[in-house]
Amino acid sequence: MISLTSDTETKPTKAMRVAIANAEVGDEQKGEDPTVNELLKRTADLLGKEDALFFACGTICNFVSIKTHTRPGDVVLAEHMAHIIRAESGGAAMTSGVLMEPIASERGIFTADDVQQALDRVAIAPYLYSANPRLLCVEQTHNFAGGTVWQLDELQQVCNFARQKGLATHMDGARLLNAVVATQTTAKDFASCVDSVWLDFSKGLGAPMGAVLAGTKEFIAEARRYKHMFGGAMRQAGIIAAGCLYSLDHHVQRLQEDHKNATYLARRLSQIEGIKVRNTSPDTNIVFFDVSGLGIDTAMFLNLLQKHGVKMGAVGKSIRAVTHLDVSWTDIDVAIDAISKIARAYTNVKSNGAQSTLSAQKTVLQIA
């Protein structure tokens, strides 16, 4: 099965498994795991931050960061389709008691003017009646916008404006290194724009799990309390950190291959009748497309595609395909061939006068 559902489906390579098996370990909770400590130093240096903290995944990095930056009743500003708002089960509201103020945008990238408009909405009621805006979150790259990249100047302008308005700034850096490779901007330059930032190692970098949050020593000291409070402390976590270290050494620059594969996929999909691709030149490794032009619903299309040995995922009414370490150029060709067969079959059914969706679906299933 060729899985393009998400880059979280990457599996550790044989060499990474060797590194994991041979990892030196200690007690992570007490700060005594040497492999974790090496990863923290490497990541803090990479991001230009004073200190760092190890977590199992990125979602808890966001929870802990929001908790550290805010107080209950505060307002967090984020792009309206940000992962923090749409894909973390409302966890920030539960763990931090904050309100979310969405900022609308077309590509997941907003401006200082957009931030000001959000602040104006928050402050529409007289003082004492309105909530207190405390934190601005940005997502690099932006998942649901199709892996779009904040350019450095865009990020600097927005974050500088936020600071002028008294807001702390946080970056969901799940795919930050994709942005680094795509723009040839250093991770340190991107991270310098924000007060806190985290990296995920379980996506395109191919580690089985692991994320690192970085910031000032004071921020990380406070975040460590919340990590423990939320049940995030670990013991012999060096076996996890070893995979993350291996990915830093071997899997960063190869992200460019994923970007090329995504562009190839997007352009080939755009040539298939009935399929509409959101962006035929994706910034990084995420492609969104729509199949409603075929007269087929998303769920049925994905079911047919899986029968051809290819998995993709639905995000709303769109289909998302994510290229990654375990998907080759040849795999992309196989996926395109499968999609083309389904599209042709369904187009033929429609042109032959199928009168109902059910009869059309049965015909396509027989052809597929």
Rounded distance between C-alpha atoms, residue 197 and residue 174, angstroms: 9
**For the chain, which domains are there?**
12-250 (3.40.640.10), 255-367 (3.90.1150.10)
How many C-beta atoms surround the C-beta of residue 45 within 10 A?
Answer: 13
Asked if 236 and 101 count as a contact pair (C-beta separation under 8 A), the reply is no
* Longest Cα separation, the chain: 70
What is the predicted pLDDT for the residue at 345?
86
Paired with 3 in beta bridges are 311
Asked if 187 and 177 count as a contact pair (C-beta separation under 8 A), the reply is yes
Rounded distance between C-alpha atoms, residue 122 and residue 119, angstroms: 5
What is the predicted pLDDT for the residue at 355?
47
pTM metric for this prediction = 0.94
Rounded distance between C-alpha atoms, residue 226 and residue 99, angstroms: 19
- Stretches where the chain sits below pLDDT 70 are 349-368
Task: Note the pLDDT tens digit of each residue in 34-62.
Answer: 999 999 999 999 999 999 999 999 999 99
Q: Is 309 helix (H, G, I), strand (E, B) or coil?
A: coil
Q: Is 286 helix (H, G, I), strand (E, B) or coil?
A: strand
Nearest to 6 by CA among 138, 157, 182, 200: 200
Q: Is 235 helix (H, G, I), strand (E, B) or coil?
A: coil
